[in-house]
Every structure is written in C-alpha cells, then in structure tokens.
Structure 1
C-alpha cells in the first residue's frame, strides 16, 4: 500500500457473480509488517479497531480479526546467518473450528503476549528454553521434554 510507514500487503481474490458479469477483486485481508520488516500480522477484512475510520464505508464493517502473526529474530552470525522464527495463532476449539478473535485495543493483540506457561504435571523441575510440549488435542499431550536438573532432561 502506498503512503504507509510499514509494509502492508492486501490479500485479494477474483470474484465473479455470474459468467456474464465482469470479474472484480474482493479484499480478503491484510498482512502488515513492522518498520524493520521482522514482524508480520495477518488480519481478515474489516475495520481497524485502533484507528478512527473516516470513510463511511469502513465505519459499517465489523472489527477485523487477527488471524495470526510471526516474528523473525536475526541470530548474531551476520546478515545471512540463521534466524529464529516465532509463530503465534489462536487455538482451535474442541470441535476443530477456529475461534474468532477481534482485539479491541493494542494490549489484546497476539504480539503483546509475552509469556506462556506449560503444565508439565511435576515431571519438569527447572525452567529452560529447551522445555517444550507437543499436543494434538487441547487435553492430550503427545510428547513433552524438559529439564529435571542442571544437565539431565526428561522426555515423555
């Protein structure tokens, strides 16, 4: 998008009501990056809750959904070195559907979430960046790995 301080990309699709109608473009959502192009947030089509919309067309739209985001961090091995990528998405409901999330202010956005707490059910005794869990359901953990003491780790 022109006149934008950050990278902003519009996701569109071709739409046609009938075979005789001309093709048109419909906006599906947006991807917006920060100034350094290290963080990207994916939104559905709708009104930005953080901005006061001036156009009448935008005022009647629902607040846009925040679909997910990812952040890349350069590891200190030079510009072409490896990067760490963090992806955040909202969890699915028990029946496998995506819950709708429309943040009303900046503190409710995914990127403002700074910590996560995993329940290792007393199997892990120490905090570590290597601790992780893999689950396939909201109540069933397939695998967990974590620090027990200074050097030993456990996996279940």
Structure 2
C-alpha cells in the first residue's frame, strides 16, 4: 500500500494542496514522480517468525487478532517510526493509531479505504 499526502512546511504546517485539473491530482503527481511538497508513505514489510511459521508485524500489544487487514504505515527514511497502524481486536472491531504527519481525518480515511481492497480475503 502506498499513501500520498500533502507535505509540511518548516513550521510543521500542512502545505495547501488545491489541484486545478486532473493532471495536478495527488495520483497524477505520484505517477509522474512530481513529489515536490508531497509525502509518500508505505506499508511496513512483515518479518518471518520461525516460531509461528508466518510473517508478522509487532503491534506492541495494540492488535490481538491476526488478519489480512492489519497493517502499519512508515516512511522509507525511518522504517522504525510507525506513522499509522491498523489492526483487528475482535470480529468486527479494529484499532487505529496514528502519528505525525497524519491527522485524524487522513488516518481514518486510510483505514476505511483498506476495507475496499481486501473484501474477499477472509
């Protein structure tokens, strides 16, 4: 999963992003590698656990059930800083944690959109 969000200025304020046409959208700019004032985040790759014979992520106790919907988002420059994590804690209950540079609305939108891509996985 890749996440593209507007960048931040030196005062840690979000850069205004108002595309005037389809060529200026976040998706178009990402496809054209025009990433000025944009931040690109990715899901963290799981690591192999020999005990469970599976790939796992460390959610530090915040996620209690295995699910294909569980994920963590990081920036490639600091893969140890978890910008966002989303995971299952019960049959129809999920937890969502987020950090700078995401805001609550962005984190919620990312979490919500993750359901659309994994409908038939479980």
**TM-score, length of structure 1 as denominator length:** 0.26
The structure with the largest helix share of the pair is 2
> Larger relative contact order (C-alpha < 8 A, sep ≥ 6)?
2
